[in-house]
Structure 1
């Protein structure tokens, strides 16, 4: 027994020597921090440990297949949901339609917002432009109001055609009113123009004996003489006149003028004579109590006769008392654009003066637009007698009276026009005539006859002009 113990020890040493070639020991702390010894011994019979079929490659393939299955599941699940499949993540057709409606409403709202922003920018620009124009108008109005009453450059409405400007006459004490001609008002003036086409016919110069004195038939009209030109739109058209039978306090040399552009025409400007008119400094400015309609006013025996705006009412304004002395409606007369002259301007009623007194040139519905001539009582404005012609008022540019005869003008715009018709109230007969007349400035809005001077007064496109006329001898009148 004692003999076997040494043998056993030798055998263990031999086995330990052989095992050291294949066994290893590793020492380290485990996850809890305790010291742990690990022995590894190689198998004497197996080169490698048996594993599941495929090893690492199979694991890789299995992972890839799992990912592929997940993707296929997602794709199939989305398609089924789109086809209306039910499930936790499925979208119903109602929900899909609701979503589409919300998206469409959102797009429309965004489009409307963009449009509103563009419109807001445009309106802001318009407001800025209007503010700028308003400021300019206010500055211009302040500049006009701040100008002195007297001075060489004071007159803004009319300027001399030629020559120098002299010193104005002083206004008598006690007279009121502005010493300046009116300037343009920046309100809405209302041009009141109605265009009309007129066929022009060449007219030969009339032949025969003529006389510059007495009463007779019109046979010739001389070239126009220009006295003044308006600088502002207020003077585009108007009426100017001298009283052929003046009474106190004003003489027959006094010149009166009304600018008729505007919606509330009330100012009557007076000049001592033609020289003062050329200088442009009125010595009298009267504010009429009622507004004037168009260019049909006239002056006679110390009174201004005119049509009240937007009515058929005739007014007699007494210059001495500076008040309305008489008023009367012109029976059945058209007004405010019913029967105007061809150039428009609400010229339905045109008052005129000649050697035989005061006249009204107008039309009625009964006359169907033909010119009606009425002789008026200059004191009461009562109609004394009427005559109906056979020429329509809207086909002629203007008309005036000479020695009881009506004369009409063919065109207000043609430079070379003519007197195309006359009607004699003594014989109650009308006839075509051809007396040349020149519209030098191509927009003749007023023509009146002054029997004291044997002249035609006219307002031609901002210009105050006059024409000398020649009348036939009395005995030549039929």
Structure 2
């Protein structure tokens, strides 16, 4: 410090003429240390050739760069010196593209959120309905009933035997009490009527005693034949003979084709002799043949159609009053099987349900010419609780399962007595997905369509006699 002051004083003495213009300044440098600055005007030069210094130039450069960056971010057109003219445009384009992507993703997420919220509301409504149904069932417990079924005495091949049907426990629900249940106990003496063999004419009518093992006639060629119908007209009309068999594949949204075969052998080989194109789309597997006409349900409606095979035209159409359709009251396997048509010794039948019946099976006998309902019966078994049904001699039989290989025919309703009862007749679903079962009056057998396979079952009927 002393040396610095001495130096400054010497400078003042040497430059006496400028003594009154010298100045001393003190301040901190960049590192924070105290620094003294002594300023003396030049006695020769009136001004310096350059103004400012390195620090000022650096500060100006930084300010220019900052101004350019601010201008680019705000969408201006300023450009940094030495930078290519397209760089700013690329930066702006990238920013805009990123913004557009972010907005698009936001919109997609919002749409997905709204869809999930709608599904959640639907599931909540279904859960609430199931909860109410559970509460209703809990409030109506099954009465403690243990009905005892007396033994049935029979004689088969001259060998006397005695056996008892299994006990059946049924829950009585007041909502399903349509008259006397008629299946609390079974009291019948049954004598055997042998099943028909070959072309023997057997016109006997009685209760179903047993169903034989299935016989396979053909497997479908493609996925369209997973479900289907095969039929034979019990009263065939020219130009088609009594041995003519018909097949309809029912997979797909355009079910129109009907294939005809001269006999069972041609059906097994897959060689149709006739192909008809139905004028109206067919729904599900509930069609049947009778007196030269195909009877079926028109797609997505409760309308029944009578299609004349000879003229290849619609002979009659009529709505089945109040019948459910399009999955409202199907069998348990689904397939829009709301209306099931069949033919037996007593004529043309429709099996379905209505809102009034609350899902219970309704049986109606139809006029085969006009399709008018002649008479109806309400049963006390839910339609969606059984896999399928068929009618023999005016008696409705229901199948317990469509998928179990070993199942039973579990219920019978007699339209003559308006009474129903539980039964337990063994039945085999050989291929594990039975989507169609119907009684063939022409052959007095059961026809079925089991998971791509066309099969038939021999049956045994018995005559019911008074006690």
Aligned equivalent of 1:386: 376
Structure 1: distance between partners of 2:464 and 2:239:
34
Between 467-476 and 340-349, report the one with greater CA deviation. Answer: 467-476
Aligned equivalent of 1:108: 95
Structure 2: distance between partners of 1:108 and 1:430:
77
Given the superposition, is the C-alpha separation of residues 106 and 286 from structure 1 closer, same or farther in structure 2, using an over 3 Å criterion?
closer
Corresponding position: 1:70 with 2:53: yes
**3-state SS in 2 of match to 1:473:** strand
Number of residue equivalences: 316
* Deviation (angstroms), 1:421: 1.6
**3-state SS in 2 of match to 1:327:** strand
Cα RMSD of the aligned pairs, angstroms, is: 3.1
Deviations 1:221-267 (A, max 9, x none): 11110000111111111100111222333232111111111222222
Structure 1: distance between partners of 2:427 and 2:65:
95
Aligned equivalent of 1:211: 193
Determine which of 229, 237, 241 is the counterpart of 2:231: 241
**3-state SS in 1 of match to 2:194:** coil
Given the superposition, is the C-alpha separation of residues 412 and 91 from structure 1 closer, same or farther in structure 2, using an over 3 Å criterion?
same
Between 419-428 and 467-476, report the one with greater CA deviation. Answer: 467-476
Determine which of 330, 355, 365 is the counterpart of 1:365: 355
Given the superposition, is the C-alpha separation of residues 412 and 108 from structure 1 closer, same or farther in structure 2, using an over 3 Å criterion?
farther
Corresponding position: 1:283 with 2:273: yes
* Deviation (angstroms), 1:467: 0.6
* Deviation (angstroms), 1:275: 0.9
Q: Are the equivalent residues in 1 in contact too, given 2:209–2:460 (CA < 8 A)? A: yes
* Deviation (angstroms), 1:333: 0.9
Aligned equivalent of 1:417: 407
Aligned equivalent of 1:354: 344
**3-state SS in 2 of match to 1:331:** coil
Deviations 1:389-412 (A, max 9, x none): 111212211111011111111221
Corresponding position: 1:445 with 2:435: yes
Given the superposition, is the C-alpha separation of residues 205 and 308 from structure 1 closer, same or farther in structure 2, using an over 3 Å criterion?
farther
Determine which of 232, 243, 246 is the counterpart of 1:253: 243
Structure 2: distance between partners of 1:221 and 1:391:
22
Aligned equivalent of 2:217: 227
**3-state SS in 2 of match to 1:256:** strand
Q: Are the equivalent residues in 2 in contact too, given 1:255–1:277 (CA < 8 A)? A: yes
Aligned equivalent of 2:174: none
Structure 2: distance between partners of 1:452 and 1:471:
15
Aligned equivalent of 1:315: 305
What TM-score do you get using the length of structure 2 for normalisation?
Answer: 0.62
Structure 2: distance between partners of 1:113 and 1:433:
69
Structure 1: distance between partners of 2:453 and 2:284:
16
Structure 1 unmatched ranges of 5 or more: 1-65, 82-88, 116-203
Aligned equivalent of 2:397: 407
Q: Are the equivalent residues in 2 in contact too, given 1:455–1:466 (CA < 8 A)? A: yes
**3-state SS in 1 of match to 2:465:** helix
Given the superposition, is the C-alpha separation of residues 70 and 205 from structure 1 closer, same or farther in structure 2, using an over 3 Å criterion?
farther
* Deviation (angstroms), 1:218: 1.4
* Deviation (angstroms), 1:112: 7.0
* Deviation (angstroms), 1:376: 0.7
Deviations 1:164-207 (A, max 9, x none): xxxxxxxxxxxxxxxxxxxxxxxxxxxxxxxxxxxxxxxx9969
Question: 5 Å matches for 1:20-31?
Answer: none
Structure 2 unmatched ranges of 5 or more: 1-48, 76-87, 103-162, 167-189, 196-203
Q: Are the equivalent residues in 2 in contact too, given 1:353–1:451 (CA < 8 A)? A: yes
Given the superposition, is the C-alpha separation of residues 76 and 303 from structure 1 closer, same or farther in structure 2, using an over 3 Å criterion?
closer
Aligned equivalent of 1:457: 447
Q: Which structure has the bigger radius of gyration?
A: 1
Deviations 1:352-386 (A, max 9, x none): 11111110001111111111100011122111100
